[in-house]
Structure 1
Amino acid sequence: MNSNTLNFSGGPGALPDTVLEQTRQAIAALPETGISVLGMSHRSEWFRALLDEAEHNLRALLGLSDDYAITFMQGGSSLQFAMIPMNFAGKGFAPPEYVISGYWSKRATSEAAKVWETRVAWDGADSGYRRLPALDRLGIDHSTAFLHYVSNETVEGLQFPAYEEKAPVPLIADMSSDFLSASFQADRYSMIYAHAQKNLGPSGVTVAVIKRSLLDRIPDGLPAILDFRTHVAHGSNYNTPPVFAIYVLTLVTRWLRFDIGGLQAMQSINERKARRLYETLDELGDAVTIHADRQWRSQMNVAFTFGDPRLDDAFVSVAREQGIVGLEGHRSIGGLRASLYNAVTEQAVEVLTGALAEFCRERV
């Protein structure tokens, strides 16, 4: 197996081999047009059809009705952190509430506070961000503009279970690192957003799924490019969109629908991958420490450490010799991190677990 197949990076992450092959061909020339995808006009009929297909595939995968708009935007989740309160935290509502469960939700809360008054519904700092709250037990006031949370914390390796209750206030979720990794009830949310460099494709595009009734809250006077209504009205083509990233995203949605068989099938694969890796780490006993408490372990990002930076670095080097890449932990907490995004295969996880067991026999 090559290093592309054994890419456990936290992002940009691995892409399916079939998507990479189609992308390679498209960079030279799209079969339909004879023109490189890198030079295709965003005003072409081909690109309009591509946007329509990408939206159709997402609706099919998520079971979304026309009550929701889907847009393809730029700026990553970082732009959304500010845009969301600018658009939806209007007068007549109590300040929006934020769950701080790790590095990225802390960033989201900090950015939102720069443009609107916010409240913290829960903060896991006292646990070192090793556990999560029950969202339906936070006691959110019904006049709150919205409740925001990050469904999967890539840095600490924490993941919320899918939300299945009827939310008392609009529920907004940053699903950047676990979007389309499992089946869930998308209609429980007023907004879902996810940048692409985890499960959806290369960096450059962010999917925003927005309940249309939420758009009625948006105040007039926002700069056009910061107003969600602009992007909905222009069909994700207000300014030059990231054509290449949207093309690859569309290939990934085809792969999920027609090769994998939908989100329930993808969920089963991801559950097996995560179970195999966590079982291996648990069997190593005191040799390793997993960051997240057992109940909240992420299926997408497994953060762990040998407890000694020298051993962590040594394992990264040994793994790289076997073609395994992307295991370095996030700079904020160090250690190691294996990301098991959709395109990471079960065979790749077997290679990683074998390398872990061998390393521990020889060095720990």
Structure 2
Amino acid sequence: MLEELKRAKNFNAGPSALPLEVLQQAQQEIVDFKGTGMSIMEMSHRSKTYEDVHNEAQELLRELMGIPENYHILFLQGGASLQFSMIPMNFLQRGQAAGYVLTGSWSEKALKEAQLLGETFIAASTKEGNYRRIPSLDELQYDQNAAYLHITTNNTIFGTEWSEYPDTGNVPLIADMSSDILSRPIDVSKFALIYAGAQKNLGPSGVTLVIIRDDLVERGTQDIPTMLKYSTHAKNNSLYNTPPTFGIYMLGLVAKWVKQQGGVEAIYKRNLAKAQLIYDVIDASNGFYLGHAEKNSRSLMNITFRLKTEELEKKFLEESKQQGFVGLNGHRSVGGCRASTYNPVPVESCIALKEFMEEFQKKNG
């Protein structure tokens, strides 16, 4: 049984920790889902049993995030990386340019895909400072003829996060929220489209959530392949083809779990406390731990830091593994250390990391 297993202190950046209660419920239902004699993975996606699971997951997200009725909730495949292409395919028209705010590697990748499909411009960038901060709203430069403005709300590799969002008026605001969706309350009506790979805060990998305003669905280009049109999926309730049924089932269980925790507001308060435990150690270390992000741009989801030398970092990571910590290595492209404290990561794991970091400094400072 799962409760008898020794659970890792999992700080992986994605796929990441899932709530134990969700894993246990999935375990109980994996062979026989609600008396059907079948796993959710075995039944038709056209069956009423599965359709109920599908629709309930959408309803829970609408409730938890306060998603207005004039937005479609889509479950797609291909990860956030496919959205990098689908967005310009659908919305980057001739005679317009799409604006991208560069705050890290994933926004760079999104821009690169759009450049293959039409005109783009950089509305702001913090690359020159190695992405240590989020640009202020008054740094953003775009005009009202822009096809859309794209932002990445949380940057997993560099550990930065937007604390407020631009009011773009008639320019559609599009956001990659893969790594901080459901972690704090947001005003969905500020955005024309939100997308997120599930494997951070929503569930296992394999399903991508898209929240899209109705008028944007209608505005989409029609001379592109059927599966790459948002209108195809909106008109068919994400059931045009076989969806990732198990991933959607798991997403629904995670959404139920968030509701049981008290909703997004309660989750946010817990996330603040979890991140503060670790940031406090960094700030009190007199430079032993060196945080990457500027304080006013720090992420609640991905805490990035380095130690004074590579030798110390290597020792820190080796000893952390011996103590049962998983996933504290920084992204392979930048190195260093990273603790990803997504919604399901227990407070107890963050307390344990705090204590380990303090003890490591005492021994090696």
Q: TM-score range by the shorter chain?
A: over 0.9
Matches within 5 A, 1:276-315: 276-315=277-316
Q: Which residue of 2 aligns with 1:272?
A: 273
Deviations 1:199-225 (A, max 9, x none): 000000000000010112212221000
Rounded Cα–Cα distance in structure 2 between residues aligned with 1:121 and 1:139 = 5
From 56, 60, 67, the equivalent of 1:53 is 56
Letter in 2 for 1:286: G
Rounded Cα–Cα distance in structure 2 between residues aligned with 1:336 and 1:280 = 14
Cα displacement (A) at 1:29: 2.3
**Identity over the aligned pairs, expressed in percent?**
42
Q: Which residue of 2 aligns with 1:261?
A: 262
Cα displacement (A) at 1:30: 1.6
Q: Which residue of 2 aligns with 1:169?
A: 171
From 114, 117, 130, the equivalent of 1:115 is 117
CA RMSD of aligned residues (A): 1.5
| Distance verdict in 2 for CA 1:313–1:27, change over 3 Å | farther
Q: Which residue of 2 aligns with 1:74?
A: 77
Cα displacement (A) at 1:349: 0.3
Q: Which residue of 2 aligns with 1:333?
A: 334
Whether 2:34 is the aligned partner of 1:31: answer yes
Cα displacement (A) at 1:79: 0.1
Cα displacement (A) at 1:31: 3.0
Matches within 5 A, 1:101-180: 101-135=103-137, 137-163=139-165, 165=167, 167-180=169-182
Runs of 4+ in 1 over 6 A off after TM superposition: none
TM (norm. structure 1) is 0.96
Letter in 2 for 1:324: F
Cα displacement (A) at 1:188: 0.6
Rounded Cα–Cα distance in structure 2 between residues aligned with 1:44 and 1:137 = 51
Letter in 2 for 1:284: S
8 A contact 2:94–2:118 mirrored in 1: no
- The count of aligned residue pairs is 362
Cα displacement (A) at 1:5: 4.9
Deviations 1:98-132 (A, max 9, x none): 00101111111111111121111112111011011
Whether 2:199 is the aligned partner of 1:197: answer yes
Letter in 1 for 2:90: N
Q: Which runs of 5+ in 2 are unaligned?
A: none
Cα displacement (A) at 1:363: 2.1
Deviations 1:225-284 (A, max 9, x none): 000000111111111111111111000000111x11111111100011111110011111
| Distance verdict in 2 for CA 1:34–1:219, change over 3 Å | same
Cα displacement (A) at 1:167: 3.7
Q: Larger deviation: 314-323 or 97-106?
A: 314-323
Q: Which residue of 2 aligns with 1:320?
A: 321
8 A contact 2:137–2:166 mirrored in 1: no
Rounded Cα–Cα distance in structure 1 between residues aligned with 2:37 and 2:311 = 51
8 A contact 1:40–1:243 mirrored in 2: no
8 A contact 1:3–1:324 mirrored in 2: no
Letter in 2 for 1:177: S
Q: Which residue of 2 aligns with 1:221?
A: 223
Rounded Cα–Cα distance in structure 1 between residues aligned with 2:246 and 2:74 = 16
Rounded Cα–Cα distance in structure 1 between residues aligned with 2:306 and 2:257 = 34
| Distance verdict in 2 for CA 1:136–1:174, change over 3 Å | farther
Deviations 1:302-354 (A, max 9, x none): 01111322222221221112211110100111000000000011111000011
SS of equivalent to 2:338: strand
SS of equivalent to 2:30: helix
Deviations 1:78-104 (A, max 9, x none): 000000011011235x20100010111
